[in-house]
Amino acid sequence: GRILSGMAVPVTPPPTSPMVQHHLTAEVDAVVKQQVAMARLGVGECGTGWQLFAEDGEMRMYRREQEVDGMVVDPLKAVHTVKGITGHEVCHYFFSPQYRYDWETTLEHMNVVETISEDTLVFYQLHKRIWPASQRDVVFWSHIRHLPNDQDRDGPHIWTVVNQSTEHPEYPGCSGKTVRIYLTVCLLCQTIVNPPKDGAPISRNDISCKITYCSVVNPGGWAPASVLRAVYKREYPKFLKRFTAYVINQSKNKPIMF
């Protein structure tokens, strides 16, 4: 209800994903469609199995305890509302490699393995080691997309970034002493605009962004369940607070990116 009451953004946003075909097109489209549908499902309804584990201001984080072959793969779903920024801005800073080291505190190294298209990149990331487990790395494609609002032409615009593990011949998972992790991450953002009544131009005081962040990380090999759960309970809230503060700070003296 609250989201649908948001007004149209007054500036025509960039077009939806350019129609460039590549070897990941079909997979990206399928995963994005599925992840966006999942992200849009609420956490509130009875019987969904989501347990609240962290709360701070508008931020709520839920998890479902789940194990596969004895490994903790607890799905995470977080919701947050942040004033003064748009969904396009949030997705831009999350997707773009040049900002990654600024906000991602678990990184030891990151590089772009392949530029598939303007909206699709393949990343390699080496993360900090968590004692007593082996160090982890990951190869994933990352895709940014503006979703048209087909139900309501004047409804809020939605931006998303989806990250999905993939394979790359230059980064085989079975070499060296690092363990490959597998992830699926979806960041979904809706911009809510409350236009000033006097017809004044829209300022950052009139906008907010509803963020949904969903993630499933398979640790890929042995890691003690208690350590893993303790780590994500600390790291996910830290990430979402730090990252959104970063976007606010980066955006504050720039024109609003609708």
Binding residues (CB under 6 A) for ligand 16C: these are 104, 106, 125, 127-128, 130, 133, 136, 163, 181, 183, 185, 217, 219, 223, 228, 231-232, 235-236, 239
Nearer Cβ to ligand 16C (36/207): 36
**Cβ neighbours of residue 98 closer than 8 Å, sequence gap 6 or more:** none
Nearer Cβ to ligand 16C (27/152): 27
Nearer Cβ to ligand 16C (163/190): 163
Nearer Cβ to ligand 16C (16/96): 96
Residues comprising the chain, all counted = 258
Q: Classify the C-alpha dihedral 179-180-184-188 as positive or negative.
A: positive
CB of 86 to ligand 16C, least distance (A): 19
Q: How far apart are CA 190 and CA 187, in angstroms?
A: 10
Q: How far apart are CA 158 and CA 160, in angstroms?
A: 7
Nearer Cβ to ligand 16C (239/258): 239
CB of 50 to ligand 16C, least distance (A): 17
Strands 136-147 and 179-180: parallel
The answer to whether the peptide bond before residue 132 is cis (omega within 30 degrees of 0) is yes
How many C-beta neighbours within 10 Å does residue 56 have?
11
Q: Under a CB-based contact definition with an 8 Å cutoff, are residues 206 and 193 in contact? A: yes
Cα 244 from chain centre: 11
CB of 199 to ligand 16C, least distance (A): 39
